[in-house]
Structure 1
Amino acid sequence: MSLLHPKRALTALVPLYVSRFGCIGPDCEDNCCTGWRVNLDKKTFNAYRQAKLPALADRLEHQVKRQRSQASDANYARIELNAVSRECPFLEQRLCAVQRDLGEDYLSNTCATYPRASRDFNGQFEQSLTLSCPEAARQALLQPDAFDFVEAPLQVRVGTFDVIKPKLGLSLSAMNEIRVFCLQLLRTDGLELWQKLAVLGVFCERLTATLQQGGHAGIPALLQDFVVMVEEGLVLDALRELQPNHEIQARVFALFWQGKVGGRLSSGQQAVQHAVARGLGADPETGQVTEQELVARYHSGLGRLAEALQAAPQLLEHYLLNEIFRDLFPFQGITPYDDYLKLISRFGLLRLMLAARCNADSELPSPLELSQTVQVFCRRFQHDPNWAAQVNSALRNSGWDGLEKVYGFLRT
């Protein structure tokens, strides 16, 4: 019997946590079958139309709709969610009825691959996970060796991995050298995380200028300059006078957070959102808070966050490493510096939410609760395709996109 979605066996470069990951199904505290648009590829849609199964027939006929605008083979149809609960109509007792009755092969590519993202980069296969999945977040954020890179055997559906093309006039090998430098910088011992991010900003700014001036041949020398800068400790001298600006951090990132307060949330997501609001002294329904209260609560929360992170010291660094590896950083923006702004926006908002979570109750949150906060942040903000662009636009329009201003966002 031929498979609807054949798989390919391959060896991929992965962070160690990816090789440990497995979906925990109905035991998961969140639900990837609720609240998100579920796209269907053409092959799956046609299979649903041909399926002869009385238990699913009505839903397959009426809840699966053709995509009439900008359709493609990958985005050919969609599953209509329940208008009230926003759940997938095939969800029964926290299990998928399609998988139960037809088998895993009948899952759409969207459902079968989440939270995995696979790609072919210059002949090397890679796989990462999105941390909007609670179990993926725990594995990535709480295990000290999660970002030791290994080669692992994988089974990947044919057609579900991206083939990366050269970008910005760079060869794939040059792009890879830049990616490796960024990952190694984040793992450098002897530097605080904010210092690593500051150096990354200077590098992305210089890289952007070099590419815009057609100086592609100078990329190896640029990389070497920054390696020397880090190895010889010149970074510490350059950043010694940089001071934190908690007022600006609180005002800017709380504004971004307020933009997505409310909406339909699962009970777990709502608990996190309410804890963040409580920690900021904000109204949980509107996010409104006085500036004085906001800044004071944020400052207090940062101190408590430092205490909480003693039990999970790698959490923020691992979050950033995952974003850099998963998003092909710094090649997903218009320029490397544009991609850097997106990274800092995510980091700044996440730090605000974590600090607020630490302020919400008398007891500090556990590492598992910190991981849950990251997961909810990723689900609420990073899965919104417009959010990053809106944030970058807001920073530019307010004059906060220059590196000297961005520095104020970094140090805690």
Structure 2
Amino acid sequence: MSIIHLTKTVQSVQPRYVGRFSCTGSACEDSCCSGWTVHIDKKTFNAYRQAKQPLLTERMATQVKRIRSLASDTKYARIEMQPETLDCPFLEEKLCSVQRELGEDKLSDTCATYPRKSRVMGGQHQQALTLSCPEAARLALLAPDALDFVEVSGKVRVESVIQIRSKQGLTPETMESVSLFCLKLMKVGSLSLWQKLAALGVFAEQLTSTLKQGGHARIPALLKDFETMVASGAIDGALSAMLPDYVIQATTFSGLWQLKKGRKNSAVQASVQTQVAKGLGADPVTHLVTQQQLIDNYRTGVQRLPDAMKDAPFLLENFLVNEMFSEGFPFSETSPYDHFLKLVTQFGLLRFMLAVQCNDPERLPDLAQLVRTVQVFSRKYQHDADFAKRVNGALKNAGWDSLEKIYRFLRT
């Protein structure tokens, strides 16, 4: 069978940790071959129909189903997971029988590229990893230089590279300049993490307003003016008087967490969700917790979270920078400010899940548990596009999408 998916070698800008990544295969504690909806592209589907291996062809005939409604060349079919385990039917002893029998070239785009995300913006190839992969999460979150950006040579599957086109009237080159500015803002050493996010919100709001008014030509000046304002310390001074609102943070993000806590989980996912519930103070039998318990436990935990992260104080910042880079912030939603709202929601929910595990007076979670929490959060919440839309819609409907109110979600 001939090669169906071409690869090429490109120069790519990527975080340093990407070059350190290698799939752990059967040793992975939360397999990417289980619990997903796995789409099959048209080329791969047709190749499977031509396969001659008896065991594979039987499974492919029964377990690979055509998508009949709203199908595309990239989402042409899907793999039916095993109903009891949610494992891929081609998984044997935690290894892929398709890759073993047919070769890596015959893997679908989804399976061949995960956890990599590749794109071209302004003529420049960029690559990052999604942190729903346990090994990617470890590499991205535990090394101080993990999110330093480097240019390296590497192979990419041609069809998996996303071409970033002009959005909101901006050229890809201008979009790249704005994205780079936002990443640099997250590296400003004089600001705490919540202040960086607050400053990012101000910028996203101003950028959104500028674009709505057709002021595209003013964007270079906006970048320069904002850089000057940050360097002057004006942002720090404007935010210093703000107080944390633990009540709003605890009740809001607890509600978001509970939206998916009961879904079927792998052993690793179930373990993390159990620890979060325990940290909330939930009754082991009824699973109920009073609002005051919730607020008190969150307040205690969020104040102790820096102690738990003392050997990797950059953990949350690395998560945010990786998310911004991999999603092309702030251009992956309907407006830069909407993308900021999505980022704040992700940050707040993840911080909540980490913090409530830190209120045990006898023991703080170790870094391995914190990384597992980030990985499980990424897998259960970030990969659910419908969840993100529901959350953003709920915030807007409740009037919580204004920048002044969003600050109350950020300060700790």
Q: TM-score range by the shorter chain?
A: over 0.9
In the TM superposition, 1:8-407 aligns within 5 A as 8-282=8-282, 288-359=288-359, 362-407=362-407
User: Which SS does the other structure have where 2:180 is aligned?
Assistant: helix
The code of the aligned residue for 2:371 comes to S
Q: Quote the Cα distance in structure 2 between the aligned partners of 1:58 and 1:286.
A: 46
Cα distance in 2, alignment partners of residues 158 and 331 from structure 1: 23
Does structure 2 retain, via aligned residues, the 8 Å contact 1:279–1:358?
yes
> How far is 1:53 from its partner?
0.6
Q: Deviations over 1:45-74 (max 9, x none)?
A: 111111011222221111111111111111
* 1:360 CA displacement: 5.4
1 CA distance for matches of 2:87 and 2:222? 50
* Deviation for aligned residue 1:183: 0.2
Query: What is the aligned length?
Result: 412
* Aligned amino acid, residue 159 of structure 1: E
SS in 2 for 1:362: coil
Q: How many percent identity over aligned positions?
A: 55
Question: Residues 386 and 133 from structure 1, CA distance in 2 versus in 1: closer, same or farther, beyond 3 angstroms?
Answer: same
SS for the counterpart of 2:126 is strand
- For structure 1, the residue ranges without an aligned partner over 5 or more in a row are none
Secondary structure at the aligned position of 1:13 is classed as strand
RMSD: 1.4
**C-alpha offsets along residues 235-270 of structure 1, whole Å, 9 cap, x if unaligned?**
111111111101100000101001111121111110
TM-score (normalizing by structure 1): 0.98
Q: Hey, what's the Cα distance between the residues in 2 that align with 1:407 and 1:340?
A: 12
- For residue 208 of structure 1, report the CA deviation from its aligned partner: 0.7
Q: 3-state SS of the aligned residue for 1:195?
A: helix
Letter in 2 for 1:221: A
Aligned partner letter, 1:303: Q
Gaps spanning 5+ residues in structure 2: where? none
Q: 1:371 to 1:69 in 2, by over 3 A?
A: same
**Match for 1:405: what amino acid?**
K
Amino acid at match of 2:37: R
Q: What is the DSSP-based 3-state SS (H/G/I as helix, E as strand, rest coil) of the residue aligned with 1:209?
A: helix
Determine if contact 1:275/1:360 at 8 Å carries over to the other structure: no
CA contact (8 A) 1:262 1:286 kept: no
Matched AA of 2:169: G
Taking the aligned partners of 1:264 and 1:283, their CA distance within structure 2 comes to 21
Cα 1:317/1:286, change in 2 over 3 Å = farther
User: CA–CA distance in 2 between the matches of 1:326 and 1:285?
Assistant: 41
State the Cα distance separating 1:287 from its structure 2 match: 6.2
